[in-house]
Structures are given as structure tokens and as C-alpha cells.
Amino acid sequence: MICVIIGCGSHKRMIEEWQKLAEDNVKFVELRLDYLRKDPQLYRLLPNRPTAVLATVRRKSDGGMWRGTEEERIKLLRSLIAEGVEYVDLESDVAPNIKRFGKTKRIVSYHNLEETPEDLDAIRNDILEKCDPDVIKIAVTPKSIDDVFRLVDFMKRANSERGKARTLAISMTELGFFTRVLGKKWGAPYTYAGFSKSRILAPGLPYYKVMRDEYRYDSINRETEVYGVVADPIQHSLSPKIHNLAFAEENMNCVYLPFRVPKEELSRFVGLAEFNLNIKGLSVTIPHKVDIIRKLTQLDPAVETIGACNTVVFDGTSLFGYNTDYLAAVLSVETALTGRSPRPGEASPLEGASALVLGAGGAGKALAYGLHERGARVTIAARNVAEAEKVAKWVGCDFCSWEERTGYVVQILCNCTSVGMFPNVDESPMDLPYLRGGMLVFDCVYNPETTYLLRMAREKGCKVVSGVEMFVGQACLQFKLFTGHKISASFVRRTVREALSAVH
Ligand code: NAP
């Protein structure tokens, strides 16, 4: 069950939002009465309520907005129980002084906005002993990946005890986001989500439509397989949306989560996630594509040569690393050259073609490797010429300095720098005079889909391929590696375009 939180300043707005949620089939709502600017008027809010309600009056020290005295707050909580709200939230220090009455269920909560205390069991035992809870809610703040997994372990243990009030444990902020979704696997009775995308009422709180329609919270159970992306930062990743919608389309009991993992905590995360989350697959992106290799037990040859891995498959004993970026990029270029997808066994249209790759980072290495492997004559240019030389040596191709790039006449030009990426959409790594009709111009950048470079290339009559094609291709290849299922590129393309238009 998803509990959607409504926190707004006026009664009128609160009632409107509640009604809207009911019309959208939401069954359970938390009213944050501490957000109201005037004294809460229960006679306006509680009769004819459209869904079950959890009434909460959070004080400032627990992250709330209550402006009145503590005495007034306790009086209000008692009135809410007397009015027969379905659930009331009582903090663990006040719950012992407020007796059970009528049918109202008691959610006894503990909040810590500073840290994840060492002894979570002692906090729970104290609540069980003194507070007469129906549900125990523990919301704490992690400082490390270890803190998050300590909470996971606690929630699993707490909910394995039969006949005790169930525990909902939340690790707040992006670091612990996955506990909000996966709690159901470990016995959490419900989760929280927000009414709107923009109004963030708690750190890491997701929008209810994302929780319901993308993570498919209500269908998560013990058997749900876990996948995800490790990155830092994570918030703009399109991968959760793509993979979760693909799981829904294929009707698979799987969920894909965004894991924000700081660079220095990758190794710890992989070890803990493998053991505690029973994770099946990970997409890997900035800043982890190189460091992840140390954790792998088996490497695809492309990972070895490129020195970067963007896909990890766990089979219970081994960690297999792949690079779907390079294959997706090469397939997009081949498709654009011939106007159709390459057929197995046929010679590559890249055989003997000349190509200039701009940028020697992750994407540059992947492209240089892929094009060279398919028989193209590749030159790599980077503003850090020593880096271009290093990549050229690995791959076995040529290199040149950034200034020399304009002197090359090639059939294929690939931008693998971030030049032209949002918000710097008026920049290009190559000026108009150096683009020639008949050239194929590929841009790794996918946000925006049509970069300034691609606009100029079209004007010159070049064939163009956008980074969206590479992104779609790598997601399809990754999904196949993760699950053995094929998803259609047009489905993923549509999802990526929708997600990109939402970003703007
Ligand atoms: P990266 O490892 O950080 O490499 C970026 C490269 O761009 C480096 O060589 C960097 O040079 C160069 N660069 C940055 N700004 C430059 C400038 N103003 N002039 C010249 N060179 C510049 O990043 P990456 O992972 O390769 O990603 C590069 C781009 O490809 C990004 O826009 C990313 O979003 C995109 N990408 C797309 C896909 C896809 O599926 N479509 C997949 C991967 C990446 P220095 O080392 O000198 O800074």
C-alpha cells in the first residue's frame, strides 16, 4: 500500500488534493496537519473523507512545521483519535501518554534527521514495550552505505518476528532511497510517496505516480528480482524509468532502482548489495565505470580493452562485466550507413572507412575500440593529447592533437565529448566549414537529442545519428543481458524521448 502525503498551507487546497488522489484510485493518504497555516479545522477535513487517512502533526525537531505549543499538539492528536481517523502518527516519546481509543491504529514513529543510531533494535524494543504500536516507523538519516544496509538488516530481522507490530524502516535521502521501495520485500506494511513531483516533504521521497506506475510498489514481494544503476549523481538517470517500464511491459517480477553510491563506497556497496539485496544486474555509470572492474570475476574482451564497464550481471557466484556502450554505438553507426540493421555474419559497412573520434573519455574509448574492431581506420583527437595517445595505443589506432582535428577529411565523425550537452546547447566540437556533405556525423550527446553539431551536419547534407540511438541500443542490450528478454527499440526510444521532454 502506498500512503500519499499531502502537506499544504490551506484547508481548501488540502481537500482538493485529497479528492484528486481519490479520483486517481489512491486508497491511503497522510494529512500533514502541521503544514496548515491556520489551526486545523477537523470538522472541514474529516467528515466524508474520500480515502483512509493517517493524521500527522509533526513538530519542527522531527522535520515538521507545527507552529503551536506541544500542549496544543497533544490535544489535537487526542481529538483526531476521538474523531476516529483510521491511523494516527504518534512520536515514540509522546505515544506512552496517549492511550489507545476506538478503532484508530497507532503508528509510533522515531525520526532522526542527523544519523542512523547504532542500536536500532533498542529503539524498536522500547517502542514495543512502552507505546502500544500497531506499526513502528523508524526514519533515519544515513551517512554511509553501511548505515543504509544496517537499516535493511534491522528491518528484515524486525519483521521476521511473528506476532509483533510490523516495522517500516526508512533510510532517508538519495543514499537510502531504495529502502522506500524494497521495504515491502522485507515486511514493511506500506511506504510513503509525495503528492507532487516538485513539493519535497521528506528527503528522498518519490512522487506517488513514479512509486505506483514505475516501481510498481504494490506488486513487489519477496521474490521480486532487483536490478539498478550505480552512479553519483543519480537524480537525472533515465535508466530506472526505461527498465521498470520494460519489466512492466514484459510482466516480469523485477524492479530497477537508482543507487546513489559515492565513488569511494562502490566496493562496499557491491559486496553488501550482492549479499543483502540478492541483486541480479547493475548498470554502471559516472564515476564508477573504471573502478567497477576490480570487483568483476569475469570480463568481456571489450571491457578489458576499453578499460570501462557499464553492465554487471550477477549469477549468484560470479560477477560478469560487459560494455554495451561500444556495441550500441557501433550498431547505430552501421545502421545509419546502410539504412537497416546489420545482419549476422555480413561484412561491416565500417570496413576500411575513415573515422575521427573526438574525446578520449569513456565514450571516446568505446567508440575508438568499436570502430577499429569493425575494420575502420580510426584517429582519436582529445584536448589532452597524452590521453588520446594512450587510448590509441590500447586500441591500435592513430591519434592527433585537438587542434589538428580540423585537418582530417573523414567519412565518419564521432563526437564523444560532452560539448553541446544541456545546458551548453549552443556549443559544437567542430565548426560548420569542417563538415562535408556525405559524411556521417554521430553525436554521443543525447540531451538534447538534436545537438548544434547535428543541426549543422544536417544543413551540410550529412547523415546524422544522435546519442539517443546509442542510449536506446545500450539499454536494449543491457536488458537482454540482465533478463534474456528482448525489448523493442521503438518502445525504449519512446520512453527516452518522453523522459527527456519531462527533464526540460
Ligand atoms: P568522460 O569520460 O568525462 O569524457 C569526456 C571527454 O570529453 C573527455 O575526453 C574530455 O576531455 C572531453 N571534453 C569535455 N569538454 C571538452 C571541451 N570543451 N573540449 C574538448 N573536449 C572536451 O565522459 P563520457 O562518459 O565519455 O561522456 C561523453 C559524452 O557522451 C557525454 O555527453 C555523455 O552524456 C555522452 N554519453 C552518451 C552515451 C549514450 O548512450 N548516448 C553513453 C555514454 C556517454 P578532458 O579529459 O580534457 O576533460
Q: For the segment 446-487, what is each residue's pLDDT rounded down to a tens digit? A: 999 999 999 999 999 999 999 999 999 999 999 999 999 999
Q: Which of 419, 426, 306, 282 is nearest to 368 (CA)?
A: 306
Q: What is the mean pLDDT of residues 225-247?
A: 94
Q: Which of 263, 332, 390, 444 to mutate to test the pocket of ligand 1 (most atoms within 8 A of CB)?
A: 444
Distance 299 CA to ligand 1 centre (A): 24
Q: Which residue has the cell 521521497?
A: 205
Banded model confidence at residue 50, pLDDT cuts 50, 70, 90: very high
Instruction: Provide the β-strand partners of residue 136.
Output: 108, 167
Residue 190 near ligand 1, beta carbon < 6 Å? no
Has residue 404 got a pLDDT over 80? yes
The burial of 65, by beta-carbon neighbours within 10 Å (0-12 exposed, 13-18 middle, 19 or more buried), is given as middle
Which residues lie closer than 8 Å to 173 by C-beta, 6 or more apart?
141, 142, 203, 204
SS3 4: strand
Which residues lie closer than 8 Å to 81 by C-beta, 6 or more apart?
88, 98, 101, 102, 104
Ligand 1 atom with the shortest distance to the CA of 364? 26
Q: What is the mean pLDDT of residues 223-237?
A: 93
Has residue 397 got a pLDDT over 60? yes
Residue 416 near ligand 1, beta carbon < 6 Å? yes
Ligand 1 atom with the shortest distance to the CA of 446? 41
Q: Which residue has the cell 576500411?
A: 352
Residue 361 near ligand 1, beta carbon < 6 Å? yes
d(CA 258, CA 376): 36
Distance 419 CA to ligand 1 centre (A): 7
In the chain, count of helices (H) and strands (E)? 16, 20
C-alpha cell at position 326: 561500444
Say if residues 117 and 94 touch (Cβ distance below 8 Å).
no
Has residue 64 got a pLDDT over 90? yes
242-295 pLDDT, tens digit per residue, is 999 999 999 999 999 999 999 999 999 999 999 899 899 999 998 999 999 999
Q: What is the mean pLDDT of residues 128-149?
A: 98
107-123 pLDDT, tens digit per residue, is 999 999 999 999 999 99
Q: What is the mean pLDDT of residues 485-504?
A: 88
Give the chain's domains with CATH numbers.
Answer: 2-222 (3.20.20.70), 223-322+471-504 (3.40.50.10860), 347-465 (3.40.50.720)
Has residue 167 got a pLDDT over 80? yes
Q: Which of 275, 264, 357, 371 is nearest to 327 (CA)?
A: 371
Please give the pLDDT value at position 202.
81
Residue 470 near ligand 1, beta carbon < 6 Å? yes
Classify 339 in phi/psi space as left (phi over 0), alpha (psi -120 to 50) or beta.
Answer: left
Q: Which residues of 404-416 are buried (b: 16+ CB within 10 A; e: fewer)?
A: ebeeeebbbbbbb
pTM of the model: 0.93
**345 vs 193, more confident:** 193
Residue 391 near ligand 1, beta carbon < 6 Å? no
Banded model confidence at residue 198, pLDDT cuts 50, 70, 90: confident
Q: What is the mean pLDDT of residues 72-99?
A: 98
348-383 pLDDT, tens digit per residue, is 999 999 999 999 998 999 999 999 999 999 999 999
Instruction: Provide the β-strand partners of residue 140.
Output: 112, 171
Residue 360 near ligand 1, beta carbon < 6 Å? yes
Say if residues 54 and 92 touch (Cβ distance below 8 Å).
no
300-333 pLDDT, tens digit per residue, is 999 998 999 999 999 988 999 999 999 999 999 9
Pairing of strands 311-314, 225-231: unpaired
Q: What is the mean pLDDT of residues 213-242?
A: 95
Residue 446 near ligand 1, beta carbon < 6 Å? yes
Residue 401 near ligand 1, beta carbon < 6 Å? no
Please give the pLDDT value at position 500.
87
Give, in order, the Cα–Cα distances in Å from 64 to each of 35, 92, 201, 248, 404. Answer: 8, 15, 9, 36, 59
Please give the pLDDT value at position 499.
87
Instruction: Provide the β-strand partners of residue 465.
Output: 442
Q: What is the mean pLDDT of residues 152-178?
A: 96
Please give the pLDDT value at position 116.
98
Distance 327 CA to ligand 1 centre (A): 17
Distance 363 CA to ligand 1 centre (A): 7
Cis upstream peptide for 203 (omega within 30°) = no
Taking each helix axis from N to C end, the angle separating 145-160 and 120-130, rounded to the nearest 10 degrees, works out to 40
Distance 329 CA to ligand 1 centre (A): 14
SS3 73: helix
SS3 20: helix
Banded model confidence at residue 236, pLDDT cuts 50, 70, 90: confident
Distance 417 CA to ligand 1 centre (A): 3
Has residue 40 got a pLDDT over 90? yes
Q: What is the mean pLDDT of residues 88-100?
A: 97
Closest CA to ligand 1's atom 34: 445
Percent above pLDDT 90 for the chain: 92
Closest CA to ligand 1's atom 32: 418
Angle at 234 between CA 193 and CA 4, to 5 degrees: 5
Banded model confidence at residue 14, pLDDT cuts 50, 70, 90: very high
Banded model confidence at residue 197, pLDDT cuts 50, 70, 90: confident
Query: Which residues are designated catalytic?
Result: 111, 137, 289, 325
Distance 364 CA to ligand 1 centre (A): 7
Ligand 1 atom with the shortest distance to the CA of 384? 47
Banded model confidence at residue 399, pLDDT cuts 50, 70, 90: very high
Residue 445 near ligand 1, beta carbon < 6 Å? yes
Has residue 504 got a pLDDT over 60? no
d(CA 48, CA 46): 6
Residue 323 near ligand 1, beta carbon < 6 Å? no
